[in-house]
């Protein structure tokens, strides 16, 4: 009787050990899989290759992308909008620059650099995430061309390390009359930010636009991508080392695109620069002291042209 229970006990322990090993193996497998997925190593990561095309969504995307063609300023190339023509050809001439490209803001003919740069950043992001889907419905090339139409403007708007043109047009005169940009005759002054009139948010947003766009054009046009990245780095330094809101430096902008702070743009720009360069100094910028000062961790806000904190957290 004495040996029997001992013998039985032995088998029970072996069984328990085997079960424990299986459970532990399962847990490790699940954790490793989850970590891989979170770090993007998984080949099946979102958003994945395009699946079946849904007609109504591809039609909606086409209309959305066409909006950029409607808003274009300058000497149009391959224009697909029958009622649009060349306009704003002399924009920037008072500053001896070619600021003819870029996009009009809304129903008016102002070029507001702050929301325009934000538009470019978000368009880059969309192309980086969903470019293969856009390509599947023939919208990728058009989207890239529209993005370049804005970044060409931004490159020219940044003629010196510490000078960025952030607006073309006189909003007061512009808003007095509702007409076609092709028919504009009034003077369209170019407005800049610089070291004595800083504009951290607009310079940092422009840096974010250029850094994200440099990723979009990295494969197709390496030289252009390098140019964008070099502007992005310089603009970020200008923004960071000369801190001040353009809403304070140039109070007239408050009526149109008032900025409620520049901390979010600094983090957003540094996050994109980290993606574009892989340079840890930018990551440290976001996660270190500046992150603590500006990120408002745990207090998520909506994502908008004025507030990019939610985007920075995803990015």
Ligand X SMILES: *[C@@H]1O[C@H](CO)[C@@H](O)[C@H](O)[C@H]1NC(C)=O
By CB under 6 A, name the binding residues for ligand X. 191-192, 194, 196-197, 247, 250, 254, 258, 260
d(CA 20, CA 24): 6
d(CA 213, CA 232): 10
Largest CA distance in the chain: 110
Given the complex with ligand X, which of 54 and 195 has the nearer CB atom? Answer: 195
First CA to last CA distance, the chain:
68
Helix (H/G/I), strand (E/B), else coil: 57: helix
Tokens 């310079």 correspond to 203
Given the complex with ligand X, which of 94 and 182 has the nearer CB atom? Answer: 94
CB of 110 to ligand X, least distance (A): 16
Given the complex with ligand X, which of 38 and 258 has the nearer CB atom? Answer: 258
Neighbours of 68 (CB within 10 A): 18
Q: In the structure encoding, which two tokens stand for residue 50, read together?
A: 């395009």
d(CA 239, CA 250): 15
CB of 195 to ligand X, least distance (A): 8
Given the complex with ligand X, which of 217 and 257 has the nearer CB atom? Answer: 257
Given the complex with ligand X, which of 131 and 261 has the nearer CB atom? Answer: 261
CB of 259 to ligand X, least distance (A): 7
Given the complex with ligand X, which of 151 and 192 has the nearer CB atom? Answer: 192
CB of 308 to ligand X, least distance (A): 15
CB of 260 to ligand X, least distance (A): 4
The answer to whether the beta carbons of residues 193 and 199 sit under 8 Å apart is: yes
Characterise 158 by phi-psi region: left (phi > 0), alpha (psi -120 to 50), beta (else): beta
CB of 249 to ligand X, least distance (A): 6
- Burial annotation 277-305 (CB, 10 A radius, 16+ → b, else e): beeeebbebbeeebbeebbeeeeeeebeb
């Amino acid at each position: 009787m004495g040996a029997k229970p001992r013998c039985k006990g032995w088998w029970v322990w072996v069984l328990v050990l085997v079960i424990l090993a299986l459970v532990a193996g399962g847990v490790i497998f699940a954790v490793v899989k989850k970590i891989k997925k979170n770090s993007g190593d998984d080949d099946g990561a979102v958003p994945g290759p395009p699946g079946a095309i849904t007609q109504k969504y591809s039609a909606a995307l086409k209309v959305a992308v066409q909006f950029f063609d409607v808003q274009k300023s300058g000497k149009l190339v391959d224009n697909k909008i029958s009622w649009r023509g060349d306009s704003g050809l002399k924009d920037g001439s008072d500053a001896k620059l070619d600021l003819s490209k870029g996009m009009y803001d809304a129903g008016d003919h102002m070029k507001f650099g702050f929301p325009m740069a934000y538009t470019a950043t978000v368009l880059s992001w969309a192309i980086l995430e969903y470019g293969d889907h856009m390509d599947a419905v023939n919208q990728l090339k058009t989207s890239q061309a529209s993005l370049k139409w804005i970044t060409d403007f931004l490159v020219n708007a940044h003629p010196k390390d510490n000078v960025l043109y952030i607006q073309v047009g006189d909003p007061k005169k512009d808003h007095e009359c509702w007409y076609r940009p092709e028919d504009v005759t009034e003077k369209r002054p170019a407005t800049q930010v610089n070291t004595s009139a800083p504009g951290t948010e607009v310079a940092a947003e422009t840096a974010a636009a250029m850094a994200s766009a440099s990723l979009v054009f990295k494969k197709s046009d390496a030289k252009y991508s390098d140019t964008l990245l070099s502007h992005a780095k310089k603009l970020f330094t200008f923004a960071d080392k000369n801190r001040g809101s353009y809403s304070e430096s140039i109070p007239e902008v408050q009526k149109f695109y008032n900025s409620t702070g520049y901390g979010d743009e600094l983090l957003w720009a540094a996050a994109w620069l980290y993606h574009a360069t892989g340079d840890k100094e930018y990551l440290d910028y976001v996660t270190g002291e500046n992150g603590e000062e500006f990120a408002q961790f745990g207090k998520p806000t909506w994502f908008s042209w004025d507030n990019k904190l939610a985007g920075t957290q995803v990015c």
